[in-house]
């Protein structure tokens, strides 16, 4: 069993794939986080529980008596607020008496096979309960009567622990949750770099690395979605850890709303990291008997640097997060109308795209924004999900029949969480958008945010969507989300529930998305938020792919895709070849191939030469599908360390095959270019497919190859395909 309770020591030991996590029930029944890192044998962990001396500024209490033990200096696994631990708390409750002192102590525990999940929220899962085990620890706060359960799951074959918390009001008076973390971890060092992914529209997920110092370092979203600005991902990398070596602790939140990840270094130089729903803009009212559950947090430990961390996240998400038909089935290769036509299309134009796409070998036409209501630009009609017959005479059926007759599948675009002031639905229901009384609504892209917390609103949107999806043969839906939440209030939520709106909005979105995936399991769902503004594990639970960015320039995409790859696998990154001008079609294809791959252009504008390249890309898409979608990623050179070139490599899980891609961002003269490959089997002889040359894995990884004979001009790129000999 990967989880054990060692009774005599009151120790919990969680062991999985080279990782150990140790907790204990300490003095006064405090729950203590003693160790997390590379696998260690069973031992006496007493010395890790607290320090010998605490000054008079470190209080104790009657449960532990005056003495060396103080909550201030002990590694509390899930600290409350205002009762002796002065670091950033994991949980705080405003009780009926109006104060927020909170202090949870161990009560009981259970060790279970398999894993549970927070109700109404996405989470990782295990089809076979034998793949993982779960520890549930019950705690209680004597004064408020709050009962807390911390849930830990260990995946036996992965260096991963997932966590979430459940809080019950077991008292006879209501209280408000001010903050509740999904996970809080204690590490007895501070020599870490804090790594995270910041971005903006068109430039998502840039890696930032800065040393932790005394004090706090945090990333968060207050936007109501995980957002372009910060991804709900952070890592603590031991000073000196790099892509391939050293210890890295990775954190990712399975949540699509406002979040917070804070690392707090205390005065003894220990680090606590809390992650969960952002407490800013959150206050959850809990009546007696009611329960609140947090989103799930994913914790990865790697002693193979950032690369090892990424591969663990990728494997977890491929095997235990992404669901549905397209988790393993080959996805149709698509062409999307957005950059080809924007709002300016009709049936004939779309069919002309499909005809040419058919010649190229593309499998599906996606009709993006502009097919509904009176939407000829972005000023109107969100919420009016009926077909615009001025553009599509005879309706959707005519278009879909013509596309299907060519042998292509058909996909469609929605933005269900939005409402245009200029729409029939808004004129009929002006209170269906988020708003607060007496305050004018902010507008963005000429649209308001619809009130997803309301069941009646969701039912209406669903009825409209279902009317289309049930009537026509639709194989794919792109679900977009093009602004953030402001004036976040609901006509149906007043005090004491008013501040629940941000979280209720997310729950509403999950509920509606779940209706779509449950009712239409064969539809391929792709998420999107003005590009990659909601690229998070919560969304991946519903859609196996997410549009990574509206920026389709192949060079700009490199940083976006490198950053995204820190925790998300290639098969999730929406990446298309477009008419962007900076590179030729070879490089556009080589970059988009590191993702879901598709096209976003008017195929009738391709020159004969480009057409030949595109046809070859389609062949390569099929040839390398398995390797890229299910292989292991090794980043060779990233855009932050090298201003000139980027390179990455996919290796099949059995190490029989590898694909290396290199892109030159900026030419610089250099007579040699030795590249050392990664992740191969040193004893295997590999054949370079294009030339028939043979190399041992050991040579490729240690001595490397001189690649100076390959294209290295600005914007040029190439791939090398290695296959095991024989
Ligand atoms: C933003 C998306 O990222 C684009 O791909 C496109 O779907 C537009 N919205 C449509 O409005």
pLDDT for the residue 66: 82
Q: Write down the pLDDT at residue 1.
A: 73
Going by their DSSP bridges, the two strands 576-578 and 598-600 should be labelled as parallel
Distance CA 184, CA 49 (A): 16
Superfamily of domain 331-629: Aldolase class I (3.20.20.70)
- Compute, in angstroms, the gap from residue 599 CA to the centroid of ligand 1: 14
Question: What per-residue confidence (pLDDT) applies to 568?
Answer: 98
Question: Which of 334, 417, 480, 574 for mutating ligand 1's site (highest number of atoms within 8 Å of CB)?
Answer: 480
Residue located nearest, by CA, to atom 2 of ligand 1: 530
Query: Where in the sequence numbering do the catalytic residues fall?
Result: 480, 550
- What atom of ligand 1 comes closest to residue 529's alpha carbon? 3
Could you state, in order of their start, the residue ranges of all structural domains in the chain? 3-320, 331-629, 633-724
CATH number corresponding to 3-320: 2.70.98.60
Distance of CA 652 to CAs 55, 223, 310, 678, Å? 56, 39, 16, 12
Of all protein residues, the one whose alpha carbon is nearest to atom 1 of ligand 1 is 530
Atom number of ligand 1 nearest to Cα 549: 3
* CA atoms of 292 and 118, how far apart (whole Å): 9
Distance 681 CA to ligand 1 centre (A): 42
- Ligand 1: residues with CB < 6 A are 338, 368-369, 413, 480, 482, 528, 530-531, 547, 550
Domains 331-629 and 633-724 in one fold: no
Q: 156, 231 in Cβ contact below 8 A?
A: no
Atom of ligand 1 nearest to the CA of 342: 10
Candidates 143, 144, 151; CA nearest to 176 is 144
* Residue of 204, 337, 338, 344 best suited for mutating to test ligand 1, as the one with most atoms within 8 Å of CB: 338
Which stretches of the chain drop beneath a pLDDT of 50? none
Query: Which ligand 1 atom is the nearest neighbour of the CA of 368?
Result: 7
Residue matched to tokens 């029944």: 29
Determine the distance separating the centroid of ligand 1 and the alpha carbon of 183, expressed in angstroms.
34
**What number does CATH give the domain 633-724?**
2.60.40.1180
Judge whether 514 and 539 are in contact, CB under 8 Å: no
- Residue position matching structure tokens 């509740």: 180
- The residue whose C-alpha atom lies closest to atom 11 belonging to ligand 1 is 369
End-to-end, the C-alpha distance of the chain in Å comes to: 41
Q: Which is nearest to 261 in space by CA: 207, 194, 317?
A: 194
Sole residue written with tokens 């890192």 = 37
Q: Please, what's the largest Cα pairwise distance for the chain? A: 83
Expressed in angstroms and rounded, the spacing between residue 611 Cα and the centre of ligand 1 is 25
Say what the pLDDT of residue 53 is.
67
Q: What are phi and psi of 466, to 5 degrees?
A: -65, -35
Interatomic CA distance for residues 571 and 272, integer angstroms: 33
Q: Measure 202 CA to ligand 1 centroid, in angstroms.
A: 12
Q: Counting beta carbons within 10 angstroms of the beta carbon of residue 144, is it exposed (0 to 12), middle (13 to 18) or buried (19 or more)?
A: buried
Ligand 1: distance of its center to the CA of 496 in Å? 37
Q: What are phi and psi of 468, to 5 degrees?
A: -80, -50
Ligand 1 centroid distance, CA of 550 (Å): 7
Give the tokens for residue 368. Answer: 């993006």
Nearest CA to ligand 1 atom 10: 369
> Relative to the CA of 600, which ligand 1 atom is closest?
5
- Specify the ligand 1 atom closest to the Cα of 528: 3
| DSSP per residue, 39-83 | ---S---GGGS--S---TTS---TTT-SSS--TTTS-BSS--SSS
CA atoms of 483 and 201, how far apart (whole Å): 11
Rounded Cα–Cα distance for residues 215 and 266 (Å)? 7
Among 342, 414, 528, residue to substitute to test ligand 1 (most atoms within 8 Å of Cβ): 528
Could you give the angle at the alpha carbon of 691 between the alpha carbons of 687 and 692, nearest 5°? Answer: 40
**Cβ distance 469 to 385 under 8 Å?**
no
> Residue 301 and residue 37: Cα distance in Å, rounded?
6
Q: Cα 350 to chain center, whole Å?
A: 33
Nearest protein CA to atom 9 of ligand 1, as residue: 530
Rounded to the nearest angstrom, the distance between the alpha carbon of 478 and the centre of ligand 1 is 9
For the beta carbon of residue 47, count every other beta carbon within 10 angstroms: 10
**Secondary structure string (H, E, C) spanning 466-512:** HHHHHHCCCCEEEECCCCCCCCCCCCCCCCCCHHHHHHHHHHHHHHH
Residue 671 and residue 698: Cα distance in Å, rounded? Answer: 24
Characterize 260-287 residue by residue with b for buried, 16 or more Cβ atoms within 10 angstroms of its Cβ, and e for exposed.
Answer: bbbbbbbeeebbbbbbbbbbebbbbbbe
- Which residue shows structure tokens 């591969």? 311
Name the residue with the closest Cα to ligand 1, atom 6.
338
């Amino acid at each position: 069993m990967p989880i054990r309770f060692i009774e005599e020591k009151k120790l919990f030991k969680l062991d999985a794939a080279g990782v150990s996590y140790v907790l204990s029930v300490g003095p006064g029944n405090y729950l203590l986080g003693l160790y997390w890192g590379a696998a260690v044998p069973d031992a006496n962990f007493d010395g890790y529980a607290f320090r010998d001396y605490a000054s008079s500024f470190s209080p104790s209490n009657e449960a532990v008596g005056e003495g060396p033990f103080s909550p201030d200096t002990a590694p509390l696994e899930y600290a409350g607020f205002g009762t002796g631990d002065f670091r950033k708390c994991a949980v705080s409750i405003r009780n009926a008496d109006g104060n927020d002192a909170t202090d949870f102590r161990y009560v009981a525990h259970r060790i279970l096979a398999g894993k549970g999940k927070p109700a109404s929220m996405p989470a990782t899962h295990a089809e076979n309960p034998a793949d993982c085990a779960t520890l549930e620890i019950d705690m209680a706060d004597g004064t408020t009567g709050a009962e807390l359960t911390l849930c830990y799951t260990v995946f036996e074959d992965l260096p991963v622990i997932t966590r979430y918390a459940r809080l019950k009001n077991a008292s006879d008076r209501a209280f408000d949750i001010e903050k509740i973390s999904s996970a809080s971890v204690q590490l007895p060092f501070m020599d870490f770099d804090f790594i995270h992914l910041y971005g903006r529209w068109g430039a998502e997920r840039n890696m930032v690395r800065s040393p932790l110092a005394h004090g706090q370092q945090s990333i968060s979203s207050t936007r109501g979605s995980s957002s372009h600005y910060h991804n709900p991902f952070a890592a603590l990398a031991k000073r000196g850890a790099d892509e391939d070596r050293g210890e890295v602790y990775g954190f990712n939140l399975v949540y699509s709303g406002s979040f917070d990840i804070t690392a707090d270094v205390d005065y003894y130089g220990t680090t606590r990291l809390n992650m969960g729903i952002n407490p800013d803009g959150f206050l959850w009212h809990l009546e007696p008997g009611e329960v609140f559950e947090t989103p799930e947090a994913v914790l990865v430990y790697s002693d193979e640097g950032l690369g090892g961390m990424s591969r663990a996240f990728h494997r977890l998400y491929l095997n235990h997060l992404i669901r549905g038909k397209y988790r393993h089935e080959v996805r149709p290769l698509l062409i999307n109308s957005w950059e080809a036509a924007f709002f300016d299309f009709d049936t004939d134009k779309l069919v002309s795209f499909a005809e040419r796409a058919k010649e190229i070998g593309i499998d599906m036409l996606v009709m993006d924004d502009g097919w509904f209501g009176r939407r000829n630009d972005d000023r109107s009609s969100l919420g009016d999900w009926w077909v615009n017959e001025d553009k599509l005479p005879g309706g959707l059926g005519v278009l879909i029949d013509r596309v299907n007759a060519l042998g292509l599948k058909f996909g469609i675009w929605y933005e269900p969480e939005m409402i245009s002031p200029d729409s029939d639905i808004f004129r009929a229901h002006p209170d269906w958008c988020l708003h607060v009384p007496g305050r004018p609504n902010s507008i963005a892209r000429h649209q308001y945010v619809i009130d997803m917390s309301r069941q009646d609103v969701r039912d209406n949107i669903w009825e409209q969507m279902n009317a289309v999806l049930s009537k026509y043969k639709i194989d794919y839906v792109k679900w977009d989300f093009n602004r953030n939440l402001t004036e976040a209030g609901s006509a149906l939520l007043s005090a004491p529930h008013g501040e629940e709106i941000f979280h209720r909005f997310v729950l509403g979105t999950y509920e509606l998305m779940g209706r779509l995936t449950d009712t239409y399991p064969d539809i391929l769902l792709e998420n999107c938020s003005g590009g990659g503004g909601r690229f998070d594990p919560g969304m991946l639970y519903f859609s196996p792919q997410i549009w990574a960015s509206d920026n389709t320039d192949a060079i700009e995409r490199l940083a976006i895709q490198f950053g995204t790859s820190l925790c998300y696998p290639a098969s999730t990154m929406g990446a298309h070849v477009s008419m962007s001008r900076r590179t030729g079609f070879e490089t556009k294809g080589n970059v988009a191939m590191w993702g879901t791959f598709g096209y976003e252009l008017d195929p009738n504008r391709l020159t004969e030469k480009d057409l030949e390249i595109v046809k070859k890309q389609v062949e390569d898409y099929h040839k390398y599908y398995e390797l890229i979608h299910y292989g292991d990623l090794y980043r060779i050179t990233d855009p932050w360390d090298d201003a000139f070139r980027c390179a990455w490599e996919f290796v099949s899980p059995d190490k029989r095959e590898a694909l290396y891609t290199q892109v030159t961002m900026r030419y610089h003269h250099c007579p040699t270019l030795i590249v050392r490959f990664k992740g191969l089997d040193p004893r295997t002889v590999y054949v370079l497919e294009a030339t028939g040359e043979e190399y041992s894995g050991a040579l490729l990884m240690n001595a490397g190859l001189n690649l100076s004979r390959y294209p290295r001009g600005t914007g040029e790129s190439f791939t090398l395909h290695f296959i095991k000999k024989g």
